[in-house]
């Protein structure tokens, strides 16, 4: 079964608008971490934001915030005030403490920001 699901293969957003990229996960481990990575067309993996399973508050990093709904097992990425440079692939990933802390990645969402 898929541990990380990203149901939006592609998304469009107008420049300066906010956009939400969906991510749901599946785990029975009470200790886990959720990550979002950005992959621009150049190919490198850029870390954006982290949320721990015991964190009480939603993580924020600049224009990025993570909407963490633990009971629903969802960890959506919200990008505020989209910029053209935000056009990229976005991957949601999880590491489980009992799973050796190996990354499990979702299939990704390709975001295109329109001028």
Partner 1 sequence: EAQVTQNPRYLITVTGKKLTVTCSQNMNHEYMSWYRQDPGLGLRQIYYSMNVEVTDKGDVPEGYKVSRKEKRNFPLILESPSPNQTSLYFCASRAGTGGLNTEAFFGQGTRLTVV
Q: Which residues sit at the interface with partner 1, rule CB under 8 A?
A: 4, 6, 9, 31-33, 43-45, 47, 50, 52, 91, 93, 95, 97, 100-108
CA–CA distance, 11 with 112 (Å, rounded to integer): 6
Three-state secondary structure call for residue 6: coil
Minimal distance in Å, beta carbon 61 to partner 1?
A: 12
What's the closest the beta carbon of residue 85 comes to partner 1, in angstroms? Answer: 19
Do 74 and 22 form a contact (C-beta atoms < 8 A)? yes
Q: Residue 52 or residue 81: which is nearer to partner 1 going by CB?
A: 52
Select from 2, 21, 16, 18 the least CA-distant residue to 89: 21
- C-beta of 68: minimal distance to partner 1 in Å? 14
């Amino acid at each position: 079964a898929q541990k990380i699901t990203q149901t939006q293969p592609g998304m469009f957003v107008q420049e300066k608008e906010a956009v939400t990229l969906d991510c749901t996960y599946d785990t029975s481990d009470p200790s886990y971490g959720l990550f979002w990575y950005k992959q621009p067309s150049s190919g490198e993996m850029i870390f954006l934001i982290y949320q721990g399973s015991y964190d009480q508050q939603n993580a924020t990093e600049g224009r990025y915030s993570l909407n963490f709904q633990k009971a629903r097992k969802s960890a959506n990425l919200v990008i505020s005030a989209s910029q053209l440079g935000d056009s990229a692939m976005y991957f949601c990933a999880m590491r489980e403490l009992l799973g050796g802390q190996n990354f499990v990645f979702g299939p990704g969402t390709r975001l295109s920001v329109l001028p």
